[in-house]
Amino acid sequence: MKPRGWLPLLLQLGLMWPLGALSEPRLRVFVVPHSHMDVGWLHTVQESMQAYVTNVYNSVVEELILERRHRFIAVEQVYFRLWWDGVASDKQKGQVRQLVAEGRLEFVLGGQVMHDKAVTHFDDQILQLTEGHSFLYETFGIRPQFSWQVDPFGASATTPTLFALSGFNAHVISRIDYYLKEAMQINQQLQFVWRGSRSLSAQQEIFTHVLDHFGYCSEGFYWDGEPIFPHPPADGWYPNMQLPVTQKSLQSFVEAMLYNVGERATWFQTPHLLWPWGCDRQFFNASLQFSNMDRVMEEVNKFTYQHGISVQYATLGNYFQAVHAHQLSWKVRDHQDFLPYSSDLLYAWTGFYASRSGLKGLARRASALLYVGESMFTRYVLLAPHWFLDPAWGLQQLQQLRWAVSEVQHHDAITGTHAVKVGDMFVEHLSTRMEGVHKLMASIIQDRSPAHSGPEPGGHFAVVYNPLAWTVTTIITLTVEFPNVSITDESGRPVPAQFQRSKEMPSAYDLHVLTTIPGLSYRHYSIQPSRRPQEDTGEPVTSLASSRQFGLRLRRSGKQVGGSLVPVKNDCYTVFLDKDTNLMHSIWERRSNRTVLVTQSFREYHVKSDVNHGPISDNYVFTPNGRAEMEIVEGPLVTEIRQYFYRQGNEEMRPTFAIYSRLARGPQGSDGELLCHRIEQEYRVGPLETSTKLNTGRALYSDNNGYQMQRRPYRNYKSNTIARNYYPMVQSAFIQSRRSRLVLLSTQAHGVSSQRNGQVEVMLHRRLWNNDKGALGNNLTLNDTSVVHPVLWLLLGSRALTSGLHQRSGLALQHRPVVMLREMNGEVGGPWKQKAVTLPPGVHLQILSIPGWKYSSDHTEHLRTLQKGDKAKADLRCVLLRLQHLYEVDQDQVLSRPVTVNLRSVLRGLGSVVSVEERSLTETWDVSEMYRWTWSMGDPHRHRGNSSRPLPPPGSPEVTIYPKEIRTFFIHFQEH
Ligand SMILES: *[C@@H]1O[C@H](CO)[C@@H](O)[C@H](O)[C@H]1NC(C)=O
Ligand SMILES: *[C@@H]1O[C@H](CO)[C@@H](O)[C@H](O)[C@H]1NC(C)=O
Ligand SMILES: *[C@@H]1O[C@H](CO)[C@@H](O)[C@H](O)[C@H]1NC(C)=O
């Protein structure tokens, strides 16, 4: 045979095997067909289903059945489930079952979506994985073994931990800092074992593969063109369809492929190459795709004996199996994350940490509501003597919110990088399903009658529920229309309360009530207008707070400040406000007897917005006054400092920038510790800058997904330094000197940065104008005119004090008790008994819910049911419980210790426990049977957390939880 034109090329690349027959190819190329299908970006889920997704699954299944060599990996379960439930015929379902069983169709990742990793909370990541995995297990009896996160913008160190706990053998990421990726390519370090946590044992490590700079797209190898929205074209003709492979063009395709393969092969240590075949919205005409690629691959393989390269269709699992079998010793990477992500010198993807702040807030409120709803419903189903509400209906409300919260974790959802109409879709899904859960909660409290008698008609009950498994002392706030009220508890005793004119509605009043609620318990307060003047009653009464006004002040820069200070105090802090500026001046902390200078201001970044002058800021990328008026509202429980800021030239408008700071006074001692040690701040708009006189060396600490903290030293770059020093803050951040630490806790994701020594700034909101045609055409600009109201808590104190309080305070903020009002109907119920559920302080109840999965937790039994074509019934006595140790190994002398919990006695308040089963993170697998691959490593003996802990006997109610562990259980409760 005449030598082909591309043979000299291979010689150049050094890929030619010396002449002579080869028994084995020198390089195996794994062509992995996939379609990246965003769950909302430029188009809604509905539109995407119509325009292409339905055709992806229809045509892929057909092609895979026709040809045994063809493979496909399916990623986003939202789409697969919509197709499975709404489109697939019985015949197609049978075919899919066959393809899955034979390993030709492989589910990777298996979550509802491919979640973002920078601005999502790990509670929500677990939820979205669980929703997808449970469906796969219910339907096919399988669990995904590999993960595929090829588009999210950066990677957090939480990821390896969660994926290892989910049972994955290996995982793939792609978007990391371009400069780092380049170095990893040159040094053949794109593959490594990742230890995401410094406290956890080897069980939580995972083999990680970073895609090379070609990413997940195979430019030049698509034949099906671009989908047309909203409907597929009748004639099947799509824009940008590539010319089919013909005898004439075959050679150029083969050359292109071999050239690409040759270049990439040098970046990896083993003779296996992962070659993702696909891109966004591909394979809606799988027949066209496969028929053309078949020809190219056949041609390449004809000459394997000459060039040593073989190509094959593969699933992700096929590829990793080959790499694993090669038995190399791998480098280990520690718990450093891959944030922030820069795709190029001038493109730091840090703007999205604050884009669509309103949606970010809504997503977390929905998640917190789900947490409460799950816990109230579980209590109700386990404890109510009679069910007045239909549990199936209740479960449905919860399941719908689980879906909506899962969906918004998508990397073009909570990130704020989507088109306007897609954002409207996320908001609509979240709001309607939150309404459903509110209805469920209202029905649950209507079913319960409080224990005290004699409420007079006309008043209200405030029913307060604490979803955390600790006793919580806090202040709840209600808005009422009248100032004279009397508030009494279950036994008719008056409770401490304070009312004041509402900051937002001048005609209404904020009513603050001090409450202490045991874990997973309710309190009931009756609120009635008091007809008598308060002095007559002789009882402790609701007090009206007094108010002091401080007029508009100009900030006098350069002048001596601090001449005249107004102190505002509680038992832990004194906040000093400067009368000359009406701004914060300093904070004194009692325990350390130290005063730290703290100033706060609003700042705005002016961004590049014109494409004619270089790269611009957009939803992804961030490239980079004042007068204040103050009012102090002081009462026995809470003092509120109201600071109003005016933007220049906008005087006549009501303030659009404001900070409301609150200091609370509660009981002394441990009950009131968390309440005392926080300065609550509610804002309008941003960004906000807090400067301190702490010597911090510009090092900032911010969290990964609310799970663990990362140190962020300030880095100088040649360009774009401000943006590249921005980090996500999902739940917390802090700066510290040797003696003091200032912690910020938040209810939603923000961008955070420390640009100067002792300074920390939080990006609260973004609004941009730009003239980029692509962005304008796709409605991707960020002209966000909403007003946002984020809440932050500030904790100040010694490192020891704040590191003990940090995690629990973060959770106290995330899961504040919920207050529900119900009208008094004069009905008197019987005594309503409740037993609290209380965990030790270092352990958090990550979730308590009735999942309602339709599978038996006995794998053999489940497979038998599936084979018979039956579906199991949801078991309402099977409760999902997940516990999390909050502390790192060396974080706190006491709280970092392993904690032993007897689940049977802790959960006694919910009923009697029949059995305890430990499960994988996403619940689908018995942990004792979840065998993951092991990978040999360069330094296997380096000291690790708790690698030698003895395994508890299976089924034992006694569990010992080590620092940072997350443990998942099914608890079976007795019927009553
Ligand atoms: C706190 O510090 C101040 C000055 O630094 C000192 O005068 C005072 O005695 C200290 N108080 C206590 C209780 O140590
Ligand atoms: C952009 O969004 C607005 C509001 O949803 C809509 O009216 C407009 O048609 C959209 N423009 C494009 C180009 O999609
Ligand atoms: C931004 O939005 C506001 C309010 O919707 C509108 O008045 C203004 O024209 C928009 N600006 C740009 C540049 O699109």
Per-residue confidence band for 254, with pLDDT thresholds at 50, 70 and 90:
very high
Question: Does 526 share its domain with 614?
Answer: no
Residue 472's pLDDT is 96
CATH number, domain containing residue 635: 2.70.98.30
Question: Does 479 share its domain with 618?
Answer: no
- Structural domain count of the chain: 4
CB 727 within 8 A of CB 752: yes
Half-sphere exposure of 548 (CA within 13 A, CB side): 13
Distances (CA, A) of 438 to 398, 401, 673: 10, 11, 31
- The preferred substitution site among 609, 783, 786 for testing ligand 3, maximizing ligand atoms within 8 Å of CB, is 783
Rounded CA separation 275/256 (Å): 13
Task: Average the pLDDT over each of 2-16, 197-211, 347-361 and give the range with the smallest value.
Answer: 2-16
Domain assignment present for residue 941? The answer is: yes
Question: Does 497 share its domain with 554?
Answer: no
Atom 6 of ligand 3, residue of closest alpha carbon: 783
Atom 4 of ligand 3, residue of closest alpha carbon: 785
Identify which has the larger pLDDT, 768 or 883: 883
Averaged pLDDT for residues 942-953: 54
Domain assignment present for residue 19? The answer is: no
Strand duo 638-646 + 750-753: pairing: unpaired
Give residue-wise pLDDT tens across range 884-927. 999 999 999 999 999 999 999 999 999 999 999 999 999 999 99
Atom of ligand 3 nearest to the CA of 781: 14
Identify which has the larger pLDDT, 203 or 91: 91
> Of the bound ligands, which one is closest to the alpha carbon of residue 593?
1
Domain assignment present for residue 16? The answer is: no
- Amino acid 852 reads G
Atom 11 of ligand 2, residue of closest alpha carbon: 779
Question: Does 328 share its domain with 399?
Answer: no
pLDDT(21) > 50: no
Own/partner long-range contacts of 248-255 (Cβ < 8 Å, ≥24 apart): 250/295, 250/296, 250/299, 251/4, 251/5, 251/6, 253/220, 253/221, 253/296, 254/4, 254/6, 254/296, 254/299, 254/300, 255/5, 255/6, 255/9
CATH number, domain containing residue 466: 2.60.40.1180
φ/ψ (deg, to 5) at 272: -130, 135
CA of 429 to the centre of ligand 2 (A): 19
CB 590 within 8 A of CB 694: no
- The reply to whether 38 belongs to the active site is no
pLDDT(132) > 50: yes
Q: Which residues pair with 309 in a beta bridge?
A: 27
Rounded CA separation 560/282 (Å): 64
Atom of ligand 2 nearest to the CA of 779: 1
Residue 10's pLDDT is 55
Residue 825's pLDDT is 61
Domain assignment present for residue 116? The answer is: no
Identify which has the larger pLDDT, 641 or 504: 641
- The preferred substitution site among 43, 47, 229, 420 for testing ligand 2, maximizing ligand atoms within 8 Å of CB, is 420
Q: Is the CB of 783 under 6 A from ligand 3?
A: yes
CATH number, domain containing residue 872: 2.60.40.1360
Per-residue confidence band for 473, with pLDDT thresholds at 50, 70 and 90:
very high
Residue 549's pLDDT is 83
- CA-CA-CA-CA torsion for 51, 55, 56, 60, nearest 10 degrees? -170
Q: With CA atoms as reference, report the closest residue to 582 among 540, 624, 551.
A: 551
Atom of ligand 3 nearest to the CA of 769: 13
Averaged pLDDT for residues 709-726: 92
* Among 496, 516, 543, residue at a domain's last position: 543
**Which residues, other chains included, contact 359 with Cβ-Cβ below 8 Å and sequence gap of 6+?**
408, 413, 414, 416, 423, 426, 427
Rounded CA separation 464/205 (Å): 41
Identify which has the larger pLDDT, 783 or 729: 729
Helices 54-66, 90-101: crossing angle, 10 deg rounding: 60
Question: Does 413 share its domain with 461?
Answer: no
* Among 488, 512, 543, residue at a domain's last position: 543
Rounded CA separation 391/380 (Å): 9
pLDDT(813) > 70: yes
Active-site residue among 151, 177, 224, 580? Answer: 151
Indicate the SS3 state at residue 125. helix
**How many CB atoms are closer than 10 A to CB 970?**
19
| Domain, as residue range, for 401 | 357-448+832-973
* Among 305, 337, 369, residue at a domain's last position: 337
- Amino acid 22 reads L
Per-residue confidence band for 671, with pLDDT thresholds at 50, 70 and 90:
confident
Domain assignment present for residue 22? The answer is: no
Atom of ligand 2 nearest to the CA of 776: 13
CA of 590 to the centre of ligand 1 (A): 10
Sign of the four-CA dihedral 751, 755, 758, 764: negative
Averaged pLDDT for residues 658-681: 90
pLDDT(551) > 90: no
> Of the bound ligands, which one is closest to the alpha carbon of residue 780?
2
Rounded CA separation 196/945 (Å): 12
Give residue-wise pLDDT tens across range 830-848. 335 689 999 999 999 999 9
Question: Does 572 share its domain with 647?
Answer: yes
Q: Is the CB of 779 under 6 A from ligand 2?
A: yes
Question: Does 379 share its domain with 304?
Answer: no
Residue 785's pLDDT is 82
Per-residue confidence band for 940, with pLDDT thresholds at 50, 70 and 90:
low
Question: What's this model's pTM, rounded to 2 decimal places?
Answer: 0.94
CB 533 within 8 A of CB 517: no
pLDDT(537) > 50: no
Atom of ligand 2 nearest to the CA of 777: 13
Name, of 40-54, 475-489, 516-530, 568-582, the range with top average pLDDT: 40-54
CB 872 within 8 A of CB 858: no
What mean pLDDT, rounded, does the chain reach?
89
Domain assignment present for residue 14? The answer is: no
Question: Does 309 share its domain with 230?
Answer: yes
CB 348 within 8 A of CB 726: yes
Residue 952's pLDDT is 64
CA of 730 to the centre of ligand 3 (A): 29
CA of 740 to the centre of ligand 1 (A): 16
Query: Cα 135 to the chain's mean position, in Å?
Result: 20
Per-residue confidence band for 560, with pLDDT thresholds at 50, 70 and 90:
low
CA of 744 to the centre of ligand 1 (A): 27
Identify which has the larger pLDDT, 671 or 200: 200
Question: Does 373 share its domain with 480?
Answer: no
- In the chain, what percentage of residues exceed pLDDT 70? 89
Give residue-wise pLDDT tens across range 484-532. 788 999 888 999 899 888 887 778 889 999 999 999 999 999 888 876 5
Question: Does 171 share its domain with 206?
Answer: yes
Residue 448's pLDDT is 53
CA of 592 to the centre of ligand 1 (A): 9
Read out DSSP for 180-222? HHHHHHHTT-SEEEEE--SSS-GGGEEEEEE--TTTT--TT--
Residue 557's pLDDT is 46
Question: Does 495 share its domain with 578?
Answer: no
CA of 757 to the centre of ligand 1 (A): 27
**E-strand spans in 10-149?**
27-36, 72-74, 105-107, 146-149
Q: Is the CB of 421 under 6 A from ligand 2?
A: yes
Sign of the four-CA dihedral 903, 909, 914, 920: negative
Residue 413's pLDDT is 98
Averaged pLDDT for residues 102-129: 98
CATH number, domain containing residue 88: 3.20.110.10
Token pair 């009748």: residue: 234
Domain assignment present for residue 819? The answer is: no
Question: Does 734 share its domain with 670?
Answer: yes
Per-residue confidence band for 421, with pLDDT thresholds at 50, 70 and 90:
very high
pLDDT(16) > 60: no
Identify which has the larger pLDDT, 865 or 826: 865
Identify which has the larger pLDDT, 975 or 619: 975
